Chains A and B, each alone.
Chain A
Amino acid sequence: MKLGFRSKIYLGFFSLLLIQGLVIFLWVSQVMKDSMLEEIKNRGVSIGVSLSARMVEPMLAMDFLRMKVLVDETVQLDNGIFYTFVLDEKGNPLIHTFKHGFPVELKTANTVQDGQKGSMQLLDTGDQLIFDYAVPVIINDNRLGTLRLGLFQTQAEKMVNKIMFTTIVTIIFAILMAGIVGTLLLKPVTKSIKKLHDSSEQALRGDLDVRTAPMLKKNCWDIMQCSQKECPAYENQCHRCWYMAGTLCTSCVEGEYAKRIDSCQQCQVYKQCSGDEIQSLAESFDAMTLSLKGNLSDLKTAESILNEQKALLQTILDAIPDFISLQDNEGCYVSVNRAFCEMLNKNKEEIIGKANGDLFSKTLAEMFNKEDKSILETRIPLVKENRVPGLKGLKWLHVVKIPVLETKNYVKGLVCSGRDITKLKAVQEQLTQSQKMESVGRLAAGVAHEINTPLGIILGYAQLLLEDVEKDGQMYEDVATIAKQTKLCSKIVVDLLNFSRSSQKNITKFNINEAIKEVLSMVEHTFSLNHVIVKHEYDKNPLLMQGDKEKLKQVFINLLNNAFDAIKENGSIFINSGFGKTQSEIKISISDTGCGISKDNIKKIFEPFYTTKGPDQGTGLGLSVTFGIIKEHNGTINVYSPPLSGKKEGNGTQFIVVLPTGLNMKKGELNG
Chain B
Amino acid sequence: MKYGWVFLLCFLLFSGCGENESAIKVDLTEREQVILKEEHGVITYAYLPQYSHTISHFRHHSLIQYLRKETGLNIKQIFPDTFDEHMKMVGQEKIDISYSNPFIYIKIAHRYGAKAFARIVEMTGKDKFRGQIICRADNSSIKNIYDCRNKRWIAVDSTSAGGYLYPLGHFIDHGITKKDFKEIAFAPGPGGKQEKVVLSVYAGKYDIGTIREGTLDVVSDKININKIKVVSMSNPYPGWVYAARKNLDKKIVEKLNQAFRKLDFNNKEHREILEAASFIKVINSVDKDFDPVRQLAERVGMSLEE
A and B held together in a complex: yes
Name A residues whose Cβ lies closer than 8 Å to a Cβ of B: 22-23, 26-27, 29-31, 33-34, 56-57, 60-63, 92-96, 98, 100-106, 109-110, 121-126, 129, 139-140, 142
Known: A122-B21, A140-B61. A60 touches B79 (CB 8 A): yes
- Whole-angstrom CA separation of A594 from B61 in the bound complex: 176
Contact B28 A106, beta carbon cutoff 8 Å = yes
Nearest-neighbour CB distance to chain B for A60, whole angstroms, equals 4
- Whole-angstrom CA separation of A31 from B25 in the bound complex: 28
In the complex, how many residues of chain B place their beta carbon closer than 8 angstroms to a beta carbon of chain A?
33
Which of B8-16, B174-182, B202-210 touches A?
Answer: B8-16
Contact A122 B31, beta carbon cutoff 8 Å = no
- Whole-angstrom CA separation of A139 from B64 in the bound complex: 15
Contact A140 B58, beta carbon cutoff 8 Å = yes
Per-position 1/0 for B70-111, Cβ under 8 A of A: 000000011111000000000000000000000000000000
List of B residues within 8 angstroms of A62 by Cβ: 78-79
List of A residues within 8 angstroms of B32 by Cβ: 101-102, 104
24 contacts between A and B (CB under 8 A): A27-B16, A33-B16, A34-B16, A34-B18, A57-B54, A57-B79, A60-B56, A60-B57, A61-B81, A62-B78, A93-B34, A96-B34, A104-B31, A105-B27, A105-B30, A106-B26, A109-B24, A110-B24, A123-B24, A124-B23, A124-B24, A124-B25, A140-B57, A140-B58
Nearest-neighbour CB distance to chain A for B294, whole angstroms, equals 30
List of B residues within 8 angstroms of A26 by Cβ: 12-13, 16
Known: A140-B57, A140-B58. A103 touches B26 (CB 8 A): yes
B17 within 8 A of A: yes
B53 within 8 A of A: yes
Partner of B28, one of A30, A56, A57, A103: A103
List of B residues within 8 angstroms of A106 by Cβ: 26, 28
Partner of A27, one of B12, B33, B52, B58: B12
- Whole-angstrom CA separation of A125 from B12 in the bound complex: 35
Minimal Cβ-Cβ distance residue in B for A31: B16
- Whole-angstrom CA separation of A30 from B80 in the bound complex: 52
List of A residues within 8 angstroms of B52 by Cβ: 57
List of A residues within 8 angstroms of B80 by Cβ: 61
Contact B34 A102, beta carbon cutoff 8 Å = yes
Contact B31 A100, beta carbon cutoff 8 Å = yes
List of A residues within 8 angstroms of B247 by Cβ: none
Find residues 21-71 in chain B having any chain A CB closer than 8 Å to their own CB: 21-34, 36, 52-54, 56-58, 61
List of B residues within 8 angstroms of A125 by Cβ: 25-28
List of A residues within 8 angstroms of B16 by Cβ: 26-27, 29-31, 33-34
- Whole-angstrom CA separation of A95 from B33 in the bound complex: 10
Known: A104-B31, A105-B30. A27 touches B13 (CB 8 A): yes
Known: A31-B16, A102-B33. A61 touches B53 (CB 8 A): yes
List of A residues within 8 angstroms of B56 by Cβ: 60
- Whole-angstrom CA separation of A175 from B79 in the bound complex: 63
- Whole-angstrom CA separation of A26 from B28 in the bound complex: 37
Nearest 5 A/B pairs, CB to CB: A30-B16, A101-B31, A124-B23, A122-B23, A60-B79
Contact B57 A101, beta carbon cutoff 8 Å = no
Contact B54 A122, beta carbon cutoff 8 Å = no
Nearest-neighbour CB distance to chain A for B62, whole angstroms, equals 9
- Whole-angstrom CA separation of A368 from B53 in the bound complex: 126
Beyond A102-B33, A106-B26, A109-B24, 8 additional contacts (C-beta under 8 Å) are: A30-B17, A57-B53, A61-B53, A61-B80, A63-B81, A104-B30, A140-B57, A140-B61
Known: A60-B53, A122-B21, A140-B57. A94 touches B34 (CB 8 A): yes
Contact B24 A139, beta carbon cutoff 8 Å = no
Partner of A61, one of B26, B28, B36, B79: B79
List of A residues within 8 angstroms of B81 by Cβ: 61, 63
Minimal Cβ-Cβ distance residue in B for A63: B81
Nearest-neighbour CB distance to chain A for B26, whole angstroms, equals 5
Contact B54 A56, beta carbon cutoff 8 Å = yes
List of B residues within 8 angstroms of A139 by Cβ: 54, 57-58, 61
Nearest-neighbour CB distance to chain B for A491, whole angstroms, equals 119
- Whole-angstrom CA separation of A93 from B80 in the bound complex: 22
List of A residues within 8 angstroms of B61 by Cβ: 139-140, 142
Nearest-neighbour CB distance to chain A for B59, whole angstroms, equals 9
- Whole-angstrom CA separation of A103 from B26 in the bound complex: 9
Minimal Cβ-Cβ distance residue in B for A100: B31
List of B residues within 8 angstroms of A92 by Cβ: 34
Nearest-neighbour CB distance to chain A for B251, whole angstroms, equals 27
Contact B26 A124, beta carbon cutoff 8 Å = yes
Nearest-neighbour CB distance to chain A for B79, whole angstroms, equals 4
List of A residues within 8 angstroms of B28 by Cβ: 103, 105-106, 125
List of B residues within 8 angstroms of A105 by Cβ: 26-28, 30
List of A residues within 8 angstroms of B25 by Cβ: 123-126
List of B residues within 8 angstroms of A104 by Cβ: 30-32
List of A residues within 8 angstroms of B31 by Cβ: 98, 100-104
- Whole-angstrom CA separation of A109 from B61 in the bound complex: 31
Nearest-neighbour CB distance to chain B for A36, whole angstroms, equals 13
Nearest-neighbour CB distance to chain B for A112, whole angstroms, equals 15
Known: A26-B13, A27-B15. A101 touches B26 (CB 8 A): no
List of B residues within 8 angstroms of A33 by Cβ: 16
Nearest-neighbour CB distance to chain A for B28, whole angstroms, equals 4
- Whole-angstrom CA separation of A271 from B4 in the bound complex: 49
List of B residues within 8 angstroms of A103 by Cβ: 26-31
- Whole-angstrom CA separation of A30 from B11 in the bound complex: 13
- Whole-angstrom CA separation of A57 from B23 in the bound complex: 34
List of A residues within 8 angstroms of B12 by Cβ: 22-23, 26-27
- Whole-angstrom CA separation of A105 from B77 in the bound complex: 31
